[in-house]
């Protein structure tokens, strides 16, 4: 059974204030969130709760992440307008739309064809033109476009995929949830150096699992 909507809708201004109170201080990220109508990225039944600071269900049994988690991961990513970013897990396209205002170009991979098509339509409606979408296996990354200055993963891996580390530029940063389905999960910040990688464990989270392959039937 789907959760009933809240009695009073949360406004975008209230969401921004909530994010600030939780430590989201990057003005570029907050400004990008203000530009993106989250109600365009959720199912109609949940549009009343579009600016509530919680995850919501979307098509194909997936979710649109909690705005705080999106903002937190983007802060950890340390992204700027010169960066080429790989996003694994396009989903609804909401995080992608925010990223498009923060970086030079986004290459987004989605394993569900239905989600990819819907997200592309939403991005086109917002006249976002610096995003390229691929239906494919996110665990394999996007080798022809590598290396990437930044990589952000929107599903939880058992361990950091080797292919993604290989496609990260030296000096680059990857932000990824790591853990087990139904068990402990944490955001990890992975920085690639000349000699290897440096990992920092951040906040606990709850994400859908990162699954190999492409769901061609959906």
Measured CA to CA, the distance from residue 99 to residue 190 in angstroms comes to 18
Active-site residues: which are they?
65
Residue 209 has pLDDT above 60, yes or no: yes
C-alpha pair distances (Å), 72 with each of 142, 157, 189, 204: 24, 18, 11, 12
Domains in the chain and their CATH numbers? 68-204 (3.40.50.150)
Angle at 162 between CA 157 and CA 164, to 5 degrees: 80
Residue 145 has pLDDT above 50, yes or no: yes
Confidence at residue 212, expressed as pLDDT on a 0 to 100 scale = 85
Confidence at residue 214, expressed as pLDDT on a 0 to 100 scale = 77
Confidence at residue 217, expressed as pLDDT on a 0 to 100 scale = 53
Confidence at residue 4, expressed as pLDDT on a 0 to 100 scale = 45
**Average pLDDT, integer, range 76-91:** 97
Q: Please check whether residue 68 is in contact with residue 22, taking contact to mean a CB–CB distance below 8 angstroms.
A: yes
Confidence at residue 8, expressed as pLDDT on a 0 to 100 scale = 67
Question: What is the bridge-based pairing of β-strands 197-204 and 185-192?
Answer: antiparallel
Longest CA span, the chain: 54
Residue 162 has pLDDT above 60, yes or no: yes
Residue 89 has pLDDT above 90, yes or no: yes
Residue 55: name the closest of 45, 44, 40, 70 by CA: 70
Q: Please check whether residue 186 is in contact with residue 205, taking contact to mean a CB–CB distance below 8 angstroms.
A: yes
**Mean of the per-residue pLDDT values for the chain?**
93
Can you read off the two tokens belonging to residue 16? 């921004």
Confidence at residue 171, expressed as pLDDT on a 0 to 100 scale = 97
Angle at 160 between CA 158 and CA 165, to 5 degrees: 160
Residue 154 has pLDDT above 90, yes or no: yes
3-state DSSP assignment of residue 109: strand
The predicted model scores a pTM of: 0.93
Measured CA to CA, the distance from residue 136 to residue 215 in angstroms comes to 8
3-state DSSP assignment of residue 88: strand
Can you read off the two tokens belonging to residue 172? 């680059």
| Range of lowest pLDDT (27-41, 144-158, 162-176, 199-213) | 199-213
Confidence of residue 7 (pLDDT cuts 50, 70, 90): low
Confidence at residue 30, expressed as pLDDT on a 0 to 100 scale = 98
Q: Please check whether residue 87 is in contact with residue 136, taking contact to mean a CB–CB distance below 8 angstroms.
A: no
Q: Please check whether residue 10 is in contact with residue 51, taking contact to mean a CB–CB distance below 8 angstroms.
A: yes
Can you read off the two tokens belonging to residue 182? 């139904």
**Average pLDDT, integer, range 113-117:** 96
CA quadruple 13, 16, 20, 26: dihedral, nearest 10: -130
Residue 106 has pLDDT above 50, yes or no: yes
């Amino acid at each position: 059974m789907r959760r009933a909507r809240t009695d009073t809708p949360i406004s975008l201004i209230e969401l921004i204030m909530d994010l600030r109170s939780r430590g989201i201080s990057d003005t570029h990220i907050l400004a990008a969130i203000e530009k993106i109508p989250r109600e365009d990225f959720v199912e109609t039944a949940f549009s009343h709760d579009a600016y509530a600071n919680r995850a919501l269900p979307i098509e194909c049994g997936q979710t649109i992440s909690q705005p705080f988690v999106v903002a937190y991961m983007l802060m950890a990513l340390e992204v700027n307008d010169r960066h080429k970013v790989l996003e694994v897990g396009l989903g609804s396209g909401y995080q992608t739309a925010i990223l498009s205002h923060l970086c030079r170009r986004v290459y987004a991979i989605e394993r569900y064809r239905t989600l990819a098509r819907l997200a592309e339509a939403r991005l086109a409606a917002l006249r976002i033109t610096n995003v390229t979408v691929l239906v494919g296996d996110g665990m394999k990354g996007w080798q022809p476009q590598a290396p990437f200055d930044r990589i952000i993963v929107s599903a939880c891996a058992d361990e950091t995929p080797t292919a993604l580390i290989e496609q990260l530029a030296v000096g680059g940063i990857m932000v990824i949830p790591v853990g087990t389905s139904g068990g402990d999960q944490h955001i990890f910040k992975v920085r690639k150096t000349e000699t290897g990688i440096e990992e920092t464990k951040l906040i606990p989270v709850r994400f859908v699992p990162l699954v190999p392959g492409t769901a061609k039937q959906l």
